[in-house]
Structure 1
Amino acid sequence: MGIAVVGGSLAGLFTATLLAQDGHDVTVYERSLHGLGGRGAGFLGKRETFAILRASGCEHVARVGVISRERIVFGDAGTPLVQPMPPQMQISWDAVYRVFRERKADGTYLPGKKVEHLREDTNRVVLRFEDGNEAMADLVIGADGIASVVRAVVDGPSASNSYAGYVGWRGLLSESALPGFAREELLDRFAYFRMPYSHIIGFLVPGAGGETGTGRRRYNWVWYRPAAGPATRDGVLTDSQGRIHRYSLPPGTVSERARERLVDDARRLLPRSFAAAVEETARPFEQGIFDYETEWMVSQRIALVGDAAFVVRPHTGMGIAKAAADAIALPKHMSSVPLETALRNYAQERIQAGKAVAASGRELGARLMSPS
């Protein structure tokens, strides 16, 4: 079967890899011209994550991670509380992306191919690209994330994301850039601080090349801050050139003025160690927090995976795991029944799971962004 995967990030690569292993002719179309390497930091290792690595023969990538065994919780005053926690692995996004990307044969991963429109016929789907060219496929996988074009064909007018009223400022820096007092408190621990309507977390992730040795790792932090209303959201998602971004500001696009305000707020509001991490981050980036739940997940010859189907809040730590579970479920259902039945069975399984994760994310967001 000829399959087109729209979106070449992890959700698309996971799905393409397993479908190709089953003998399908799979081509990945990625809108970014230069690929996605170097854009990720780290993510939490979950059961579904390890399952996709095993299923694709990439289990060795799970060793490219940093393990936390302690949690440090900062209070409003006094000594922070250090607690033991079950071992938690933070895996390198870059390392996982690189391994899966390298497994795609020449000509089966095409960057710079932005899909503008899809037309679903009885026996095929026609994809039209920004450059005017077209391609045909027996099945299309929508793995094109929060800004999904494919989703609109499946869900129609209801296919818009809902803004949650806050953003996540993010930073990634070499652990050696942290001052000594911050390294002593933060490294090898999962760190957390909460204040009214806001909270910040931080943890170690591998280096850009997957390095896990002391001194070669990176510190990853995320500071969730309110930005209610479209005008406020657009203001914080405006880059250094004055352009408003719909969903996020990538590294290198935040204005120096916005960065200075962020550092000033960190010094005023955060514990000293977290404030130091924010201050030492030369290129912070920003993510708007949105919700989306698919109504159908599939049509006659289209299936959605990952954030194209369900945009869940990052507090769950389940974004990559959810995409991995989608990628495992689809080939499983396609292995022995007609396509129409397979897609229907896939949707029945994954819609229920997606709604559960989305509900958990909204509940966590409401609690963590509350005034208490």
Structure 2
Amino acid sequence: MTPTVAIAGGSLGGLTAALLLRDLGCDVSVHERATDTLQARGAGIAVLPHTLRYPVERLGIAADAISTSTEWIRFVRRNGSVDRALEHRYRFSAWNTIYRALLDAFDPRRYHLGAEVTAFEQGGDHVTVGFADGGESACDLLVCADGITSAARARLLPDVAPRYSGYVAWRATVPEAKLGRETYDALHDALTYQVLEHSHVLVYPIPGPDGEVEPGQRLINMVWYRNVPEPELAGFLTDRDGQRRPVSLPPGSVPDERVAAMREDVRELLAPQIADVALSADEPFVQAVFDIDVPRMAFGRTCLVGDAAFAVRPHAAAGTAKAAEDGWVLADRLAAAGGDVPAALASWESAQLALGADLLRRNREIGELSQFTGGFRAGDPRLIFGLYGPGR
């Protein structure tokens, strides 16, 4: 049996699941609510092997073609000197770079834009899926990969809501070519941290706007975590037009006075090489940091994957890896069950619940150390990125 599969959400997790289930022989369609091809979500991302697994193993794309690599982790002091350096290799990419690689491998006739899933009903051996335009379709398996603001999760688990961490991430990217030579030399080959009181900032190289991975043609990505009390969050996430945004202020939407205040703090607090990145960025933007804990991921013939299930803070760099792993394990369990969807999901759910719960715990622990308790220390082995544990 090869089930008919509908996937709600066409981002990295949804696309990975779609490709894996297609390879299994399933009849797969992806339904993305955006009306245009997705762009530039989150700028830079650290990529664990799980994130790159499909492009590398199934598409034969060299990891070096779609990601940068660094050989060092460096912690710097306020004056720019190196506090501690660890030899450790990481890979980084850009959301767009991975997305394009996956999208190019999927049949465009089965990737439907402007196709928001607004309802679904399970009836025996199928799921009836309803769309915003009034249309309907039936499938054997509905995979909900509709992200942190998941409408599917709200329908299936109405008591589950995102939990605000107490801090936001200021983000920016700058072309390496725009930076001074001293800054480039200090940053181009490393993941660089600066630890501040109740805060930390990290920078690393990512592919350029068109996927360039050659040193000098890449971007330098900055993420600076800063505490914003929950009562102030609504005001903080109000854009230059007065619109309240639920999660982030995209590039170009942050009010000028907020950007100016951030830059004043940059000059006062950040090491020179990191400050150069922050001050050179044309359009810094903001993402509030939330997480979500779910008690279930499987519901008969429907499941939640990626951020639609467990949304985790970014400190283990494993969000995209977890979404990809949800898809890999789902395909494996569906094959092992001979296409029996309820049996496959029952088997799949236990493993993915355990993975999500552990990852959520580890990220919360790192966030608390950094932003509130003051236990974030240079060289702490808990900070090593990993899906199944530090370095794993």
Partner in structure 2 of residue 174 of structure 1:
175
Return the alpha-carbon distance in structure 1 between the equivalents of residues 158 and 52 of structure 2. Answer: 36
Q: Is the CA contact 2:4–2:141 (under 8 Å) kept in the aligned structure 1?
A: yes
Match of 1:340? 342
Q: Corresponding residue for 1:193?
A: 194
Deviation at 1:106, TM superposition (A): 3.0
Contact 1:53 1:62 in 2 (8 A): no
Indicate conservation of the 8 Å contact 1:40/1:94, yes or no.
Answer: no
State the AA in 2 paired with 1:99.
Answer: A
Distance 1:36 1:78, change over 3 A: closer
Give the structure 1 partner of residue 159 of structure 2: 158
Are 2:351 and 1:349 equivalent residues in the alignment?
yes
Secondary structure at 1:33's aligned position in 2?
coil
1:248 corresponds to which residue? 248
Deviation digits for residues 303-325 of structure 1 (CA, Å, limit 9, x no counterpart):
11111111111011001111111
Aligned to 2:390: none
Aligned position for 1:207: 208
SS in structure 2 at match of 1:326? helix
SS of the equivalent of 1:107 reads helix
- Amino acid across the alignment from 2:81: T
Distance of aligned partners of 1:137 and 1:55 in 2 relative to their CA distance in 1, 3 Å threshold? farther
* Contact in 2 for aligned 1:203/1:219 (Cα 8 Å): yes
Deviation at 1:200, TM superposition (A): 0.5
Runs (4+) of structure 1 exceeding 6 A deviation are: none
Matched with 1:96 is 98
Output the CA distance in 2 between the equivalents of 1:262 and 1:153: 38
> Would the aligned equivalents of 2:80 and 2:273 in 1 still touch at CA under 8 Å?
no
SS in 1 for 2:266: helix
Give the equivalent residue in structure 2 for 1:296. Answer: 296
Whether the aligned pair in 1 keeps the contact of 2:171 and 2:222 (CA below 8 Å) is yes
Shift in Å, 1:54? 4.2
What is the CA-CA distance between 1:371 and the residue it aligns to? 5.0
Shift of 1:128: 2.3
Q: Percent identity?
A: 31
Residue identity in the other structure for 1:292: I
Residues 287-333 of structure 1, C-alpha deviations (whole Å, 9 max, x = no match): 11111122110101111111111111101100111111111000110
| Contact 2:65–2:213 (Cα < 8 Å) also in 1 | no
SS of the aligned residue for 1:99 comes to helix
Amino acid at match of 2:243: R
- Residue 77 (structure 1) shift: 4.9
1:217 corresponding residue in structure 2 = 218
Match for 2:116 among 114, 117, 120? 114
Q: Which amino acid aligns with 1:110?
A: H
**Aligned partners of 1:258 and 1:42: how far apart in 2?**
22
CA shift digits 1:193-231 (9 cap, x unpaired):
1112111000001112221112210000100001111x3
Structure 1 alignment gaps of length 5 or more: none
CA contact (8 A) 2:31 2:116 kept: yes
The corresponding residue for 1:266 is 266
User: Which amino acid in structure 1 is aligned with residue 270 of structure 2?
Assistant: L
- Structure 1 residue 127, shift from structure 2 partner: 2.4
Query: Which is worse superposed, 80-89 or 18-27?
Result: 80-89
C-alpha displacement of 1:112:
1.4
**Distance of aligned partners of 1:295 and 1:243 in 2 relative to their CA distance in 1, 3 Å threshold:** same
Q: Distance in 1 between matches of 2:301 and 2:108?
A: 26
Q: 2:369 is matched with which residue?
A: 367
**Do 1:333 and 1:342's aligned partners in 2 also have CA atoms closer than 8 Å?**
yes
The equivalent residue for 1:227 is: 228
Which stretch has the larger CA shift, 327-336 or 181-190? Answer: 181-190
TM-score (norm 1): 0.94
Name stretches of at least 5 consecutive residues in structure 2 with no aligned partner. 375-392
Find the partner of 1:20 among 19, 22, 36. Answer: 22
The letter of the residue matching 2:82 is P
User: CA separation in 2, counterparts of 1:96 and 1:76?
Assistant: 34
Matched, 1:144 2:146: yes
Residue 60 of structure 1: which of 52, 59, 62 is its match?
62
Cα shift at 1:25: 0.9
Distance in 2 (alpha carbons) for counterparts of 1:173 and 1:111: 30
User: By how many angstroms is 1:68 displaced?
Assistant: 1.0
Specify the alignment match of 1:33 in structure 2.
Answer: 35
Q: CA deviation at 1:58?
A: 4.2
* TM-superposition CA deviations, 1:91-129 (whole Å, max 9, x none): 333222112111221321011122222222223222222
Q: C-alpha separation between the residues in 2 aligned to 1:78 and 1:104?
A: 45
Cα contact 2:80–2:272 (8 A) shared by 1: no
Q: CA deviation at 1:82?
A: 5.2
Q: CA deviation at 1:23?
A: 1.0
Whole-angstrom CA distance in 2 between matches of 1:10 and 1:58: 18
Name the CA shift for 1:207/1:299 in 2 (closer, same or farther; >3 Å): same
Deviation at 1:153, TM superposition (A): 3.5
Matches of 1:78 and 1:186, distance apart in 2? 11
Residues 239 and 249, structure 2, Cα contact 8 Å, conserved in 1: yes
Cα RMSD between the aligned structures?
1.7
